[in-house]
Structures are given as structure tokens and as C-alpha cells.
Structure 1
């Protein structure tokens, strides 16, 4: 800018608004966005000139012209109606709880509890009394910190009953941040509802119990400063109402980072772990309760077995929650089946249904049949004897209980050309380990070529509002094989995330929630080093070492060192392809259309040789073969059986005459 000398005086109108505020006499210049305080009315005009000159000083003519073109400001008066509420707490007088009834549930309940497990905090009486004192007498807000399953909810239910007994007009009202603002459609509506909620809490002296407390700083606005927590903070600071909540330590750390001032107004109570003596006392009390209420007995040996199984395999939850939850499942099933005893066999059966783990892996008194183990994988994985040996070793280590309990069961990298059995091996491991009882597929498969950019990683892991695909799948199937196909194509940021998974077996999301990978077999596949000018055949150690060297050079040392085993897969030769073709053709007999018609398929050696000739591609492995079988065999069989809708209970001979597929049938005698 520059100073422009002129002969005339330029008059610039400035509008100000002034009045008395809580901080004193104040003036505001709206168009200039300037404000100042004054002490005497006669000083106001001079002060306005001073601040205006300071603002316009050295302003070029163009800017002054733009200012002069602005319209004249105006002043409007807005009337706000506030519902009258008494500022003192009514302890012995009924006060309306309209908003509380809409957005929260009252505890203790009026209705009778119908769950099998009683809502009693056994072995926590001293802690319950201490919490009651803090909430009822000291009138502070409290957050309970403890692992999932340690009993935080049950403790608060017991506290609610004790507070009600000591003061029959006082309740705990349980809700969530999402429920508080549910139904708000226009700007400012959730704030109005929240304000009324706080006024009701102050008037009734009730306590707000918030589940999913970590979302208090994320619901309501774009950031923590616009959230429900920030909106409630002034009232909470003045002690106008109380909040009680329950969190894990990781969730509490996340909330404190987002809005420290909000977290500072809570008294933190850490829930200690129970001793072994206390745990078994709780199970005895639970067993006595079930026997009296439902006439179902739980053997002590069964309780001991449940404890051992949960201690080893269900590490992502704490006692006593996971113990009571599992025993409740057993009692529910016994009650449904009109059974009066829960023994070791019923416990094992239920655990197998829950985890998918086979019985021989859970019972120490059943020896591992090594021959059957190798035969199982040899039938599933054709022509990959070294890989079969490695996965068999993995099973033996797990059976012996020698795997590291604080990591995934195994972190493996399958390296080799495409179409040689890497995915088939992962599927076989999933079926063998976790396929005995689960209704869901124990194989979680993710194509890492879909996550090549940093923004795509959010789809995999999630954000503040919802978990990503990997997190969601593992939480749903804690016992599973996680297959990360073509891992080398993922963005490097994902390798950094996997470091903690491979090292500690856990992954903490943006909300501080822990996802447990310690019952997962993590398998990554890669084609690194497998593409050269000619197909690779893994027939000697030098070729295997070449693949491993390429893998080492691609991944950072800290990532490579966390991989338990790099398992190389051989390129397929013609002999192996023949075995694969016979396996694929035999599997056609299990397809629904053939089984419904009771048709048996028999394939000739000529057909097998022809399929090898047209379907064998050393570079692409067995995948082209599957397409050839669908096109040359399955399509022709479909055409054949649809020509005769009455065809049933027939042996079909499928041959190749040198030019075409030939299907012959011979009707079988049917009784």
C-alpha cells in the first residue's frame, strides 16, 4: 500500500453498537469487526474515531471505495424464550423426567430381570459401597476403567440398586451419545434437547449413565470442540449434574486426548482384577443360583475346564465376564434341550461351536495323528510337499501349546507364482483349525491391491465413526485365518499398522477399542520374485533362496523379522497338473445339480490329457485350468442333462474323442 495526498477531506461513515455487558461498557464496530471498552459516555465518539483511523490507515483508494459501497448496517432484536426451571435440586418432590424417559433407560428396572445370570457384583461389595458414596454423598462424576468383561456394568447395576435403597427418588439413567441426539433434524435441535436433559437431571437429582462414552467427544459436531461433551462441559464444571461411565484404559486415553478439560472433571476408579479364589467363588455362586432357579447342575470339573479353555483361547475378554457369559450359553442350551447336567463333554461341544477349533486340539489326552495330518493337507494342496511340511509343523506347535500366546498363532508369507496353491493352502488351514463349529466362513480374505493409497487404508481399518473391513471381520470371527492377498501391492502405511499386529497380536482403532488377533493365523501372499523371462521351477535351494532374497529386499527389516515363516511354493509341472485335474473333476460330483439327479461322473484318461494340453500354463498355474474345465466340461454336461429332464440315477462316462467331448450313459438298476 501507499499514501495518496489529496486536497479534499474524505468523510467515511462508521457505525457502532454500544451498551453494557457483564464485563463493562463495550462498543462494537460491526463492519470493521473491532470492539473496545470505554469508561465514560463522552469518550465514546473519540474512541470510535481512533479505532476507525487505525483501521483505515494506509488503505489504498480501491479498498476505501469498496468500503463506501457497502450498505448501511441494521440492528435486529431476537427474543429467546427459556423454560423456567428451579435452580435447586428437588429431593423429595416429584419432577418431570420427560426427556430422560425418551432418551434413556431407568435403573434399577421396574420389571423383573429375565436373564439367567443375576445382575449382582459378587466379590465386589467394598467397591460397590465406595462408588455409592462417591455418587450419592460426594456428588462427583465417575468413570470406571477396566478391561472388557471385568464387571464394570454389573458393578454399576449394583450401585444403582444401592442408591435407590438409600434414596428412593434417585435413579441411574442409561443412554448413549447417539441416542441423546437421535431425532434431531434441524440446526440447534440437539443442543436444545441436551439443555433440557441437563435441566431435568439438575432438577431431579438423577445420575446420567453413559454407555459408549468415548463417542461423547465425536457426536454432535465436526470435532471435539463441537461435540456433546463440549456442550455439557460448562454445566458439568459447575456441578449441576452427575455422569457415570465405563471405559477401557485405551478408550479413556483417547477421550482425554480429544478433550482434556472434559475428562478432568471425572473421578477415575480403576477396577482391579479378581484373584483365582474370588473367581471360583463367583462360579460356585453362579452354579448354585442356576441349580436353584432352573434345576440344572454344573459339574466342578466342567467349571475347571471352562476356566482353562477361556484362559488359553479367549484372551480378548477378562474374567469373570467371559466365564459367566460362556456358562450362560451352556445353561441356555441345556435348558432348551431339557437337560439337567452340564459336564465336560457339553462344555467341549459348546466351545467347539463357538471357536471352530477341533476337539483333538482342545483335549490334551488325544494324541495327534501325524499321518492323518499330512494326508489332510496333501489332499487339499497338490504338488507342494515343502509347504505341507511347514503347515503341519504349525499344527504340531499349536497342539503342544508352544505358540507365543501374545502374538497371532502364526504370521506367514506364502511366496511363489500365481495359481500354484497359496490360497488353497490358506483355505485348508482355515478349515482344519476353525472349521468345526462356526457358522461363518473362518477364512477372511482381503485383496490388498485395493488398498494402494493412504486414503484407502481407512476402508480397511475404519475411522472415528465406524470400523473398517478388517477390524469388523476379525471382531466378528476372532478365530479365523486372515488372508492378505498380494500384500506387496498395499500402501507402505499398512505395513506399519501390521507391525503391531504381528508383534503384540492387537490393533487399537481411533476410538481406543482393541481388536484381538491372537487367535488368528495371519497369512500374506506375494508373487515377489516369481515373474522372470521364463517360468520359475522351485526344484533346488538356489531358486528358493532367490525368492527369499527378493522378499527381504522388498520389505523393511523390522517388518520381515516379524514374519514367522516365509513358505515358498513350487511352480507346477505336468505331472502335478494331472493330479490337480483329477481332483477338480472329482469335485464336480459334489455340485448340487448332479447330486439332486443322483448322477455319478467318470472321466477318462484321454480327457485328462486333453485338459492338460489346453489348460496348462506354467506362468499362470492352475487357474486357467479351472476356466477350461468350466467351459469344456461343465457347460457340455449342463447341455446334456437339460436335453433329458427325466435323467436320474445314472453313471455318466465323460470322454474326449480327439475333437469333441463325448458323454455316454448307462442306466443303473434302481430298487
Structure 2
């Protein structure tokens, strides 16, 4: 730094080497050593590597350099003369148990800095949870950052620590004023210095008391988990399992929002519990194929599941497989190989999962994808990981993979489709899938979930849910909505078609309720604080504002 002209860099490097040689007992430790290897390089000039080589070969200086494998290969390994001056030592990532020991060894520095104490369980969970949930960094670095941030978080509401800092600032002012007063010659200044000395003793005593109070703040497992949640966007209660009953009650919560698909909900809930418990044989993601006719809730279940498990529907990564029908489309998932256009761009799948490793992946209409896409999915389903075009390994073990398909639903008259005998429908659809997907692909999927056609009762319940959702929006304007059962059945019967499932139902509710009430609100027939009742009279919908 600070070398503007040719020769300045060489001069500074040689002065450092000469100083180290004179002292004789110095070991230079250079972090990110690859950054200085080509520093000062210019035509006819000397770079850092050429300056260091003679001194290293004569054993006049000792250097410890730190770099990554990629940078070592790029900058040092290709210079064989420089490489043989160093002894490469591979520093592997420590295990979780080793990391726990490391954290116990350094925790006192963080306790003194943050005025906190770490209990043993918090240290243990910092290593375990960071290893499990933070996939793009390594131990012990990520665990150390977790305890550092957790300690800072624990002190956010520590009023004693704020008071302590104010007292320290006051002490600094007293010491500065005392030094000025003591250096003077007048009697008044000596008296002032004595007063300041007395004040200094009082402030120091208060600092001692507040330090004792501050050090009572304990970093708990909850603080550790809260930091993990902030980094990974995974709800804290899902990590610590404080509310494990939430997972046990997952079926009931899903059934309140998903109507008529009990078998699908049960299968998904069991797989989610298996994945979240951490008790499983392989690090592979939970995977499903949702098969069923249009409008029965396949995509909707995926959205609700993403919201229940990952806070919001935005945690769902959706890929429409109709966009991946060509052979070259595989590169869109993992990125283009070197030498091809788009190499600098990241893969649509790998980059999204790398940035958000806790997400739900929805592959819509999976049967439309090119066979090479299935080869990519085979590796994800088996090993829970995928290497992108830049050689980075992306972990999928914490994702949930859902593939939707309409396969086997177009042949109702030929015995393949959706009859209401659910067991027969399930077996026939699974047989149809075998004609489309390879056996090794189907064998890697946790479960094939068959969505059955909706009956009249289920359609009515779905209609009630849609009306309730709209009622919640109206409550923001302090408007109450009540729809009679007869009116709702009339609205459903007007548009419902078994071939299209529940989708036309939403359009019918939009036409008969949302559009009408919007017009009434604009005309001021419906105002804030009113209640609107929709009933059926003489086979016509009646709207009353009260």
C-alpha cells in the first residue's frame, strides 16, 4: 500500500526482508498470501514472489502463508520455483466435537468483551446448529460468528451495560481533567485534583458494581437459535424444537387449509417430521410426486407447506418444467460450462438454493422436462447435493422437493383417470407413471401422492375458505361479510366443472362477490363500519348493507 512509483514496492519489500534477517527470530505470517505474489508485477520489474525466492532458498527468513486451495492452485502452484520453497499443509475443517473444544477455549474473550457468560449447552448448540443449518461456511468460523452475534444480541436489552459505558466515558473525562489539574501549580488546581481523585474512586466503584451486574447476562440456546434463524430464515422454534407439538400437529393445521386430500397431507407431514428430526439414514431431501387433475390443490398444498415450515410462501422456489424441454436447458439449472455463453451467470436452481438452503422446491409439470433434467434430479434425490458449473457444491438436504404431474389423468374412459374409488385411482395412476418415468427415478422419490377429484361437500368447504379469506381483507376496512350457505352453493354451482377442479370456483367468487362489493364501495353504497349480507331469493343473489 502507498507505493505509487516503480521501485517503491521493491524497496519496501527488501527493507522488510533485511529487518527480519537482522532480528533473526522473526516468523512472518502473511494471511491471504496469494494477494502479494504478483504484487508489483510489471514489465521489467520484480514482483513479490521473485523478491522472496532468494531469501527463502537461503533460509534467511521464515514465512507462514495462509491461502485457499483454489488460490494456491491459481497463484502459487503454477510457479514451481516458489512452490518448492514452501511446505504445503492442508488444514481440514474441524469436526463438531473439535469445534466445541475450540469454542470453550476462546469463549472467555467474548465473555469479557460482551460482558456475558456462555453456558455449556449454548456452546454445544452453537457448533451443532451452525454445522446443520449454515451450509455455505465452515467450522469453526461460522460457530465463532454465531456465539459472537448471540452475545451481542443477548445484550440488546441490558440497561446495565449502557450505564457501564456511560460511567467509563465519565471516568475518561475525570482522568483527563485530573491530569491537567495536577500539572498546574496553583493551590486551587491541587484542590480540584483532590476532588477529581475522590470522584474517580466513586466512579470506579460504580463501574465495578455494574460490571458484576452486566456479567450476569447469560447467553442461552434461544439466543444461539435466534441468530441461526436470522441467517437462514428458518423459524427458531423449528430449530430448538421448543414447540415440537407444532410439527406433531402439522396434519391438523394443513387440513384446515387443504380440503379433501387427507392421504396427501398425511404422507407429506410424516416426511417433514422425519426430515426435521434429523434422524434419518442419508442426507437426502424429502421428495414427493404430486399427481392429480388440475384444480385439486397440488400447487396450493406446496404453497401452504412452505408457509408453515419456512415462515412465508416466498420460501418456495418454483420451476416450470415446460421451460426445460430442450437438452441445453440443463445449463439453466446449474449454469453454463466454461467457454460457453452465459458462463458468468449462475444457475437458476443452484444459486437460489445456495442463497436459501431452507426452501421448498416445486418442479411444476415434471413430465415435460428433458431426460437430462432427470439425471440432475437423480443426484439431488440420492445424495442431497449438486455441483454447479463453477465447482461449488450446493446442499439440498434441508430442502423439500415436490414435483407435480398430470400424468395418468387424461384417460378417464380408459381406466387411468380419476374415479372416486380412491384406491383404484391411486394404483392406476402409479402404473401410468411407470410408463413415463424411469424406475431408478421413481425409486428415489419418498412418496407418490395421488390427489383425488373433489366431491360436492369438499368443493363447498373450499368455497367457504375462499370467502373467509376475502372476509379477512374486508375487515381491514372494518367491513363484515356474511354469505348464506344457499347463496354460496348457488355461486359454486354456477361455475363449477369437475374437469377443472376448484379454479373456476375462485373466478365465480370474484365475479359474484368481489366485483359486486367493489362497485358498491366505489358508489358509497357500502361504507367502512358496515356489514354486508349475501343471501339467495328467487334463485337470485341479494346484497344487503347494514
TM-score, normalised to structure 2, is 0.73
Over 3 Å counting, the alpha-carbon distance change for 1:659 and 1:298 in structure 2 is same
Contact kept in structure 2, 1:430 and 1:480, CA below 8 Å: yes
Moved more, 307-316 or 541-550: 307-316
Contact kept in structure 2, 1:416 and 1:568, CA below 8 Å: yes
CA–CA distance in 2 between the matches of 1:448 and 1:328? Answer: 43
2:318 is aligned to 445
Q: Secondary structure at the match of 1:572?
A: coil
* Pair 1:565 & 2:447 matched: yes
CA–CA distance in 2 between the matches of 1:200 and 1:396? Answer: 62
Aligned ranges 1:619-638 → 2 under 5 Å: 619-638=499-518
2:297 is aligned to 421
How far did residue 336 of structure 1 move?
Answer: 4.0
- Deviations along 1:187-234, whole A, 9 cap, x unmatched? xxxxxx996399462499489xxxxxxxxxxxxxxxxxxxxxxxxxxx
Aligned ranges 1:346-425 → 2 under 5 Å: 346-358=223-235, 361-363=238-240, 368=245, 372-398=249-275, 400-408=277-285, 410-425=286-301
Between the two proteins, the alignment pairs up a number of residues equal to: 460
CA–CA distance in 1 between the matches of 2:404 and 2:262? Answer: 18
1:477 is aligned to 356
Contact kept in structure 2, 1:506 and 1:514, CA below 8 Å: yes
2:114 is aligned to 294
TM-score, normalised to structure 1, is 0.60
How far did residue 352 of structure 1 move?
Answer: 3.8
1:274 is aligned to 94
CA–CA distance in 2 between the matches of 1:623 and 1:205? Answer: 73
Extract unaligned runs of 5+ from structure 1.
1-83, 96-135, 138-162, 181-192, 208-241, 667-671
How far did residue 379 of structure 1 move?
Answer: 1.0
CA–CA distance in 1 between the matches of 2:315 and 2:394? Answer: 17
Contact kept in structure 1, 2:116 and 2:219, CA below 8 Å: yes
2:151 is aligned to 331
2:187 is aligned to none
Over 3 Å counting, the alpha-carbon distance change for 1:662 and 1:645 in structure 2 is closer
* Pair 1:430 & 2:306 matched: yes
1:510 corresponds, among 366, 372, 389, to: 389
Aligned ranges 1:495-644 → 2 under 5 Å: 495-533=374-412, 536-591=418-473, 594-644=474-524
Over 3 Å counting, the alpha-carbon distance change for 1:262 and 1:570 in structure 2 is farther
CA–CA distance in 2 between the matches of 1:264 and 1:445? Answer: 51
Aligned ranges 1:94-113 → 2 under 5 Å: none
CA–CA distance in 1 between the matches of 2:25 and 2:32? Answer: 9
Contact kept in structure 2, 1:538 and 1:569, CA below 8 Å: no
* Pair 1:342 & 2:224 matched: no
Question: Over aligned residues, Cα RMSD in angstroms?
Answer: 4.1
CA–CA distance in 1 between the matches of 2:385 and 2:320? Answer: 21
2:198 is aligned to none
Contact kept in structure 1, 2:533 and 2:545, CA below 8 Å: yes
Aligned ranges 1:123-272 → 2 under 5 Å: 166=27, 196=42, 199=45, 201-202=47-48, 205=51, 245-247=67-69, 269-272=89-92
Where is the helix percentage greater, Structure 1 or Structure 2? 2
How far did residue 482 of structure 1 move?
Answer: 0.7
How far did residue 321 of structure 1 move?
Answer: 1.9
Over 3 Å counting, the alpha-carbon distance change for 1:659 and 1:243 in structure 2 is farther
- Deviations along 1:83-105, whole A, 9 cap, x unmatched? x978x96566579xxxxxxxxxx
How far did residue 330 of structure 1 move?
Answer: 1.5
How far did residue 558 of structure 1 move?
Answer: 1.6
Over 3 Å counting, the alpha-carbon distance change for 1:659 and 1:518 in structure 2 is same
1:457 is aligned to 330
CA–CA distance in 2 between the matches of 1:358 and 1:611? Answer: 39
How far did residue 311 of structure 1 move?
Answer: 4.0
Over 3 Å counting, the alpha-carbon distance change for 1:658 and 1:164 in structure 2 is farther
CA–CA distance in 1 between the matches of 2:452 and 2:502? Answer: 12
Aligned ranges 1:43-58 → 2 under 5 Å: none
Q: Secondary structure at the match of 1:271?
A: coil
How far did residue 326 of structure 1 move?
Answer: 1.9
Q: Secondary structure at the match of 1:566?
A: strand
How far did residue 571 of structure 1 move?
Answer: 1.1
Over 3 Å counting, the alpha-carbon distance change for 1:269 and 1:606 in structure 2 is same
Contact kept in structure 1, 2:430 and 2:448, CA below 8 Å: yes
CA–CA distance in 2 between the matches of 1:201 and 1:171? Answer: 18
How far did residue 265 of structure 1 move?
Answer: 8.0
Greater C-alpha radius of gyration: 1
Q: Secondary structure at the match of 1:522?
A: strand
Over 3 Å counting, the alpha-carbon distance change for 1:658 and 1:503 in structure 2 is farther
How far did residue 538 of structure 1 move?
Answer: 4.3
2:528 is aligned to 648
CA–CA distance in 1 between the matches of 2:40 and 2:225? Answer: 49
Q: Secondary structure at the match of 1:484?
A: strand
CA–CA distance in 2 between the matches of 1:631 and 1:347? Answer: 50
CA–CA distance in 1 between the matches of 2:303 and 2:13? Answer: 66
- Deviations along 1:285-326, whole A, 9 cap, x unmatched? 432112222323222221122233234444554321221122
Contact kept in structure 1, 2:110 and 2:148, CA below 8 Å: no
Over 3 Å counting, the alpha-carbon distance change for 1:265 and 1:656 in structure 2 is farther
Contact kept in structure 2, 1:252 and 1:512, CA below 8 Å: no
CA–CA distance in 2 between the matches of 1:371 and 1:297? Answer: 34
Over 3 Å counting, the alpha-carbon distance change for 1:338 and 1:425 in structure 2 is same
CA–CA distance in 1 between the matches of 2:296 and 2:121? Answer: 47
Over 3 Å counting, the alpha-carbon distance change for 1:320 and 1:287 in structure 2 is same
CA–CA distance in 2 between the matches of 1:633 and 1:348? Answer: 45
Contact kept in structure 1, 2:407 and 2:429, CA below 8 Å: yes
1:16 is aligned to none
How far did residue 479 of structure 1 move?
Answer: 0.8
CA–CA distance in 2 between the matches of 1:164 and 1:528? Answer: 75
2:195 is aligned to none
CA–CA distance in 1 between the matches of 2:228 and 2:408? Answer: 42
